[in-house]
């Protein structure tokens, strides 16, 4: 078996597929985020596709993409609630709300791309079995 076969054809658990998605998505986004227009989107597309193909099916790929999105959204919500409770200055609360809104928008776009790519990877894996 070649190296590319091990990457795409070996099966991971949902946790393992989430790991592939997270590491590739974060790493490529950090490396290529400076590229105008497409840089921030390369990471979730590649990470989602590889993680989805490692998951083995469309359902497992969707679960591997959606579960981290829910966890990250809850963490952002909790942090913004804590920040709102700790600040007594309304201007700081407003700045925190703007930053949290921007983070949610970026996370939403990232998660949509990751989910669509994961579904494509899961479908590819279901149709290309060894």
Say what the pLDDT of residue 49 is: 93
Q: Give the mean pLDDT of 101-110.
A: 80
Q: How far, CA to CA in Å, does 118 sit from each of 65, 94, 95, 97, 99?
A: 7, 35, 34, 31, 28
pTM: 0.74
Q: How far, CA to CA in Å, does 56 sit from each of 60, 83, 129?
A: 7, 40, 9
Q: Where are the domains of the chain?
A: 3-127
Q: Give the mean pLDDT of 35-58.
A: 87
- Say which residue the tokens 């407003």 belong to: 94
Give the CA radius of gyration of the chain: 17
Helix or strand or coil: residue 42?
helix
- Say which residue the tokens 């999105």 belong to: 69
Query: Is the pLDDT at 119 greater than 90, yes or no?
Result: yes
């Amino acid at each position: 078996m070649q190296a590319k076969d091990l990457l795409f054809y070996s099966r991971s658990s949902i946790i393992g597929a989430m790991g592939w998605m997270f590491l590739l998505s974060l790493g490529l986004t950090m490396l290529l985020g400076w590229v105008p227009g497409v840089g921030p989107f390369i990471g979730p597309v590649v990470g989602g596709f590889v993680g989805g193909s490692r998951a083995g099916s469309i359902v497992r790929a969707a679960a591997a993409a959606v579960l981290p999105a829910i966890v990250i959204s809850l963490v952002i919500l909790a942090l913004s609630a804590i920040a709102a409770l700790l600040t007594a200055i309304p201007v700081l609360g407003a700045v925190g709300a703007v930053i949290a809104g921007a983070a949610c928008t970026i996370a939403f776009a990232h998660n949509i791309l990751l989910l669509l790519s994961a579904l494509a990877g899961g479908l590819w894996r279901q149709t290309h079995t060894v």
